[in-house]
Amino acid sequence: MQNKGLVKLFALLFGLVSIYQLSFTFKANQIEKEAKQFAQSKYTESSEIAAGELRYLDSLNNQEVYNMLGVKQFTYSDVKDNAMNLGLDLKGGINAIIEISVKDILKGLANNSKDPIFNQALEKAEELQKDSQDSYLESFYTAFDEIKGDTKLASPDIFANRTLSDDVKFNMSDDEVKSVITRKVDESIVSAFEVLRNRIDGFGVTSPNIQRLGNGGRILIELPGAKDKKRVVDIITKTAQLQFWETYNTQDLAGYLFQVNQRLVEAQKAKTETTEDATEQDEATEEVDSTSSVIENLTGQIENDSTDVRENVNPLGIQSIGQGGPVIGMFLAKDKDDILKKLNANRDLLPVEQRYAFFAWGKPADKDSEFVELYALKSNRDGEPELSGAVITDARQDYDQLNRPAVSMQMNAKGAKIWEAMTKVAYETRGNIAIVLDSTVYSAPGVSTGPISGGNSQISGSFTLEEATDLANVLRAGKLPASAEIVQADEVGPSLGQEAIDSGMVSFGLALLFVLLWMIFYYGKAGGFADIALLFNILLIFGVLSGLGAVLTLPGIAGIVLTIGISVDANVLIFERIREELAKGKDQKIAIKDGFANALSSILDANITTGLTALILFVFGTGPIKGFATTLIIGILTSLFTAIFITRLLIDWYVGRGGKLDFSTAITKGFLQNVNINFLGKRKIAYVISGILITAGIASLFTNKLDEGIDFVGGRTYQVRFAQSVSTEEVAKTLNDPAVFGSAEVKTIGNDNQLKISTKYKVDDNSTEADEEVQSKLYEALRTYLPDGITYQEFLDGSGDAKIGKMLSSKVSPTIADDIKKSSFWAILGSLVVVFLYILIRFKRWQFSLGAVAAVFHDVLIVLGIFSLAWKFMPFSMEIDQAFIAAILTVIGYSLNDTVVVFDRIREYLNEHTSWEFGKTINASLNSTLSRTLNTSLTTLVVLLAMFFLGADSLKGFLFALIVGVLVGTYSSLFIATPVMYDTAKKGDAAESLKKKVKEEEEEA
C-alpha cells in the first residue's frame, strides 16, 4: 500500500479529533450526574429534584468547568454545546409537527374579504382536504374554479385590494393571480418558520431541531429535554397579537351593566309570567338612577349568589363594580362567554359615542382564580387599535416597581411617536391604556408623569418568572402570520429515555464482544487486527456524530450496531480473498496485496448499494429515522476507511516484522473452501418455497391485513406502565366502552405490566382541549388498575420511583398519516429504481439488475407477509410505522449487499474461466462466496438478536423486521437473485454475450 505515512497521519488526526469531541460528552455527563446527586440530597419530590437540578446547572453556565490539558478553559455552556446531542427517545422531550393555517393566510391576503364565492371556496377546500393529497392552496384553487362563475381572483373584493396593489392588478387572469398568491403564501410560511425558529431558540433546550416539511405549511419541531408540554404548545401556537387600547372607566359603563342586568331581569319576569305589580317595578327602577345606587343595590345581592338571585335579581352575574379605574366590573370566570354574549346582544343600550366599545377580560391572578375583571376598550367602526405589536423591536423579561416579573418592550420610531401621543392623551384625561395580548388585558396602567417618549413600555401583571420570560421571547420573535395547529406530537418521558440508553448500551456491548471474539476464533491473529480496526471505527463514528452536532437516537444506536456488521463484512471479504490467494500457493505478502485488491470491487459495490438506500431513507425520513440513516451513512464511510486502510496498516506492520498470518485457526482452516453445492439445480424447489410464502403473505395482506400504526391512519397512542401485570382483554373491554373511547386497541409491550394503547377517538380534533380530554378519560378508565393515591399529574408524568403511568404518547392527524404513506411509498420505490440503475451501470447487463430487484421484491413481500400473518399473536408491537419503513429499506440494502458480492464474483469467474459452462461458473461463484455470506449473516444476526432480546421494547418490531430480512436476504441472494439472472441470461446467446462484455471490460481496465 502506497502513501502509508499519509494514512497514518489521517488516522492519528481523526482519532485525536474524535477523542477531543467525545471528551466534552464525558465531562457533561459527569457534571449532570453531580447536579442530580446534589438535587436528590436536598429535595424529595420528583418535581423539586428536577427544578433543583436545573438551577444547579444554570449556575454553572458561565463558570469554567473543564480544563483542556491546561491549554483552554471551557464553561459548562461551552461543554454542553460541544457534547453529543441525545434525541427525544434517549433524553426525553417533545416532537411536534406544526401546520400553519394557509386558510388564515389567504384571508389576510384578501383583507378578510366578505365575498361569498371566496368564502365558499375556503370552506369547500377544507372538505376537499379530507380525501386529497393536494395542499390546501391547491384545493382552494380547485374549489374556486368550480364555483367562481363570473367572479375573478383579481376582484377588488378579493385579491385586487390595497394590500396587494403592487402585485395584483384588476386586469390579471386567474392563473396570473394564482402565481402571485402562491408566492405570497410561501413567503408567509417562511416568515412563520423564522418566527418559530426564533421562539424555539429562546426556549432554552439543547440542540432544538426545526425544519420545514416539503413545500406546504408544515414545520417539524424537536425539543430534546423539554418536559412541560403545555408550555411548549403555548410558545409554538401563540399568535402573539399585541395591541394597545385606550380604556373607558367604571363611571363610563357601570350604568350600562346595570341597564343590561335590568333588561335581563324584565325578560326573565316576562318569560315566567310574573304577577308583580307594574307600579312597584317602576318605583324600583327609579331608585337606581345613578352609578352609586347601582353599586349599593348590587352589593347586597352578591353576598347571596343563589340560583334564585341570579335569575331574578342578578342574571348578568355581576360580582362587584369597579372602583373608578379601567376595571368595569368583576365576574365569575366560568361565566365569561355567556356574559360577553349578553353584553354584545344589548349594545343598543350604549350611548352613541360608546357604541363601538370592545369588551375584553383581564388576565386572572392565577390559573385557579374564580373571578375575572372586565375591561371596556375604546374602539372605532373597524375595531382596530391605535397601536399594535408590529412596532415592537425588542422585548425582555424585567421587574416592575413592586419587584414582580414583567416584560419591558422597545418600539420602533413610528410606534414611539404613536405611543407618545397615546400616553399624552391618557395623562391629560387621567385615563388608562390597556396592554392586550391575544384578546386578554394583561395590564391597564395610568400615566401619571406625563407623555412617554422613546417608545419604552412595560407589561406587568400576575406573571410567574417563566411566563414573563416566555412572553418576552414570543414578542421578540414576532407574531405568526397565521394560526398554528399541532397536527402530530410525540412526548417521551425521560425515564423511558434512561431505560433506552441502558438497554441499548447492554445490547451494544454484548453484540460487540461476540463479534470481537468471533473474528479471533475464525481468523486468528488477523481477526485481532480486524477487531482493533473495528474499535477504531466505533470511536470515529461517535466522534464524527459529536463533531457534526448530529442527534443520537435509539434507531441511531441501531444504525451504529448494524454498522458493526458492515465493518465486519468488509474485513471478511478481504480475509476470504487473502485465504483464496494463499490456497493458490502465493507468497504471504503477495497474497495479502492481491487479496485487498481483489476484494475492493466487492466492498465498494456492496457499500454503495447500502449507502444509496440509507441516503434515500435520510431524504424521506423524519426525526429518529433520519438519525438512523445519518449514523448508517457515517458508519459506511468510516467502515470503508478502517477496513481498507487501518486493517491493511496493521497487517503490513506485523508481516513486515516477520510475523506469519494464516487468516484462520486450526478449527476453521479450510472451512467451506471445497464445498460444491448445486445451487442452480435447487432453484426450482426454491421458487416453489418462495412462491408458497409469497402467496400466503399476499393472501394474508388482503384478509388479515397489516397492523397499521397511527403514523398511517391517524390517532393517539399511549404507552402506560402499571405496578403489576394487567390483562389486555380487561383493559380493552374497559376502554372500548362507549362512555370511554368506544374503540381502542390494547397490546402488551415487553412485560405484562406495560401496555400500548391506541385510539382513534376524536382523531379529527387536533386541539389541546381534545388531547386533555383523551388523557383525562384514559386516566379515569385506568384508575382501577393503578395503585391508590396516584394523581392525574403523576399519571401523566410517569413519575415516582416506581415509574408508574404514561411513559410515552404520540399523536398523528389523518392528513399527516396520508403524507407518511405517500413518502414511504416513494422511499421504497425510489430505492429500487436507484439500485436497479446502479447495478445496470456497474454490470452493464439488465439481467443483473432484474435478478437483484427480483430478490428485493421477494424479501420485501415475505417480510410484509410475515408481519401480516403474525401481528395478532406476537407479544410485541408489529405496527407498520415509519420505523418499519426504515427496516424495509435496510433489508433492501442488506439484500443488495449480499447479491452484489455474489454478482462481483460471477463477473470475475466469467473472465477467468472462459471455457466453463455458464451454469458451472454460476455455481462456482456461489460456493466460493459461501464462507463470506454465512460469516457476515451470522455476525449481523447476533448483533440484531442481542438488541432484540436485551434492547428497548419500542424497537422490537423494527428489529424483528431486520432479523427476518437478514435471513430472507441471505437466502434470496443464493436462491433467487442469481437463479433469476441465470434464467434470463441463458436464453439464446445472452450468456455468451455476457461473457464477452465482461472480458472487454477487463481488457479496458
- The pLDDT tens digits for 81-125 are 788 877 766 677 777 888 888 898 898 889 888 999 999 999 999
Q: Model confidence at 512, in pLDDT bands (50, 70, 90)?
A: confident
Higher pLDDT, 976 or 166: 976
DSSP code string of 415-455:
HHHHHHHHHHHHHHHT-BEEEEETTEEEE--B--SS---SS
CA–CA separation, 532 and 517 (whole Å): 12
CA distances from 90 to 541, 678, 754, 882 (A): 18, 49, 19, 18
pLDDT at 296 over 50: no
CA angle, residues 979, 982, 987, in degrees to nearest 5: 140
Cα separation, 611 vs 601, whole angstroms: 15
Residue-level pLDDT at 934: 86
Q: Is the pLDDT of residue 823 over 80?
A: no
Q: Which three cell numbers stand for residue 452?
A: 412617554
- Region of 705 (left: φ > 0; alpha: ψ -120 to 50; beta: rest) is left
Q: What percent of the chain is modeled with pLDDT above 90? A: 17
Query: Is 0.75 topped by the overall pTM?
Result: no
Contacts of 920 (CB under 8 A, 6+ apart): 913
Residue 340 has pLDDT above 70, yes or no: yes
* Of the candidates 685, 681, 613, 578, the residue with the CA atom closest to the CA atom of residue 852: 613
φ/ψ of 877, rounded to 5, equals: -70, 130
Of 320-329, 397-406, 881-890, 983-992, where does mean pLDDT reach its minimum?
983-992
Q: In whole angstroms, how far apart are CA 264 and each of 2, 283, 317, 347, 878?
A: 97, 18, 11, 13, 61
Highest-confidence segment of 201-210, 385-394, 457-466: 385-394
Rounded-to-integer distance, Cα 295 and Cα 257, Å: 11
Question: How far lies 487's CA from each of 190, 661, 714, in Å?
Answer: 18, 60, 10
**What is the pLDDT, as a whole number, of residue 862?**
95
Q: Is 913 exposed, middle or buried (0-12, 13-18, 19+ CB in 10 A)?
A: middle
Number of neighbours of residue 291 by Cβ within 10 angstroms: 18
Please tell me the predicted confidence (pLDDT) of residue 993: 55
> What confidence score (pLDDT) does residue 937 get?
86
Whole-number pLDDT of residue 989 = 45
pLDDT value for 802: 54
- pLDDT of residue 815 exceeding 90, the answer is no
| Percentages of the chain per state (helix, strand, coil), in multiples of 5 | 60, 15, 25
Nearest to 357, CA basis, from 452, 445, 483, 255: 255
The number of residues in the chain equals 1005
| For the chain, percent of residues with pLDDT exceeding 70 | 84
Span 929-947, average pLDDT = 84
What is the spatial distance between Cα 268 and Cα 775, in angstroms, rounded to a whole number?
40
Q: Are 755 and 747 in contact (CB under 8 A)?
A: yes
Q: pLDDT higher for 765 or 107?
A: 107
pLDDT classification of 203: cutoffs 50, 70, 90: low
Q: Closest Cα to residue 362, out of 349, 351, 373? A: 373
- Rounded distance between C-alpha atoms, residue 625 and residue 822, angstroms: 16
pLDDT over 90 (residue 570)? no
Determine whether 954 is exposed, middle or buried from the number of CB atoms within 10 Å of its CB (0-12, 13-18, 19+).
buried
**Which pLDDT does position 300 carry in this prediction?**
46
Mean pLDDT of 792-796: 82
Give the residue with greater pLDDT, 528 vs 288.
528
Q: In the structure, what pLDDT confidence band is assigned to residue 684 with cuts at 50, 70 and 90?
A: very high
For residues 375-381, give the mean pLDDT. 85
**β-bridge partners, 626:** none
Distance CA(621)–CA(629), nearest Å, equals 8
Opening angle at CA 223, ends 191 and 197, nearest 5: 15
Segment 695-736, tens digit of pLDDT: 999 999 999 888 887 767 778 888 888 888 888 878 888 898
Cα–Cα dist 556/29, whole Å: 19
The structural domains of the chain, with segments of one domain joined by +, span 4-83, 98-206, 243-479, 493-664+675-702+819-1004, 715-807
| 3-state secondary structure (DSSP) of residue 999 | helix
Per-residue pLDDT for 302 more than 80? no
Place of cell 460469516: 935
- Cα–Cα distance for residue pair 635/629, rounded to 1 Å: 10
DSSP 988: T
**Are the C-beta atoms of 260 and 342 separated by less than 8 Å?**
yes
Q: What's the mean pLDDT in 330-335?
A: 88
**Cα dihedral angle (28, 30, 36, 40), rounded to 10 degrees?**
-170
User: What CA–CA distance (Å, rounded) separates 887 from 729?
Assistant: 30
pLDDT at position 147: 92
Alpha carbon distances (Å) from 347 to 132, 295, 343, 439: 44, 21, 7, 19
Contact (CB, 8 A) for 945 and 967? no
- CA dist 696 and 719 (Å) reads 32
Q: How far is residue 256 from each of residues 3, 269, 346, 361, measured CA to CA in Å?
A: 93, 20, 9, 17
| Eight-class DSSP state of 974 | I
Distance CA 505, CA 524 (A): 27
pLDDT in tens, 592-626: 999 999 888 888 887 888 888 788 878 776 555 67
pLDDT for position 214: 67
- Which CATH class for the 243-479 domain? alpha beta
DSSP-assigned states of every residue in 585-623: T--HHHHHHHHHHHHHHHHHHHHHHHHHHHHHHHHH--T
Contacts (Cβ under 8 Å, ≥6 apart) of 245 = 358, 377, 378, 379, 385, 386, 433, 434, 436
870 pLDDT exceeds 80? yes
Query: Is residue 195 a contact partner of residue 177, using CB atoms and an 8 Å limit?
Result: no
pLDDT over 80 (residue 71): no
The CATH number corresponding to 715-807 among 1.10.287, 2.30.30, 1.10.10, 3.30.70 equals: 3.30.70
- Rounded Cα gap, residues 300 and 290, in angstroms: 16
Residue at 906: amino acid letter:
I
pLDDT tens digits along 725-754: 888 878 888 898 888 888 787 877 766 788
| Spatial separation of the C-alpha atoms in residues 5 and 653, rounded to whole Å | 12
Judge residue 357's burial from the number of C-beta atoms within 10 Å of its C-beta, 0-12 exposed, 13-18 middle, 19 or more buried: buried
- Write out the H or E segment, with its range, that includes residue 299: helix 291-302
What pLDDT is attached to residue 971? 93
Q: Which fold has domain 493-664+675-702+819-1004?
A: Multidrug efflux transporter AcrB transmembrane fold (1.20.1640)
Model pLDDT, residue 980: 92
Specify the pLDDT at position 495: 56
For residues 281 and 206, which has the higher predicted lDDT (pLDDT)?
206
* 197 or 283: which leads in pLDDT: 197
Instruction: State the average pLDDT for the chain.
Output: 81
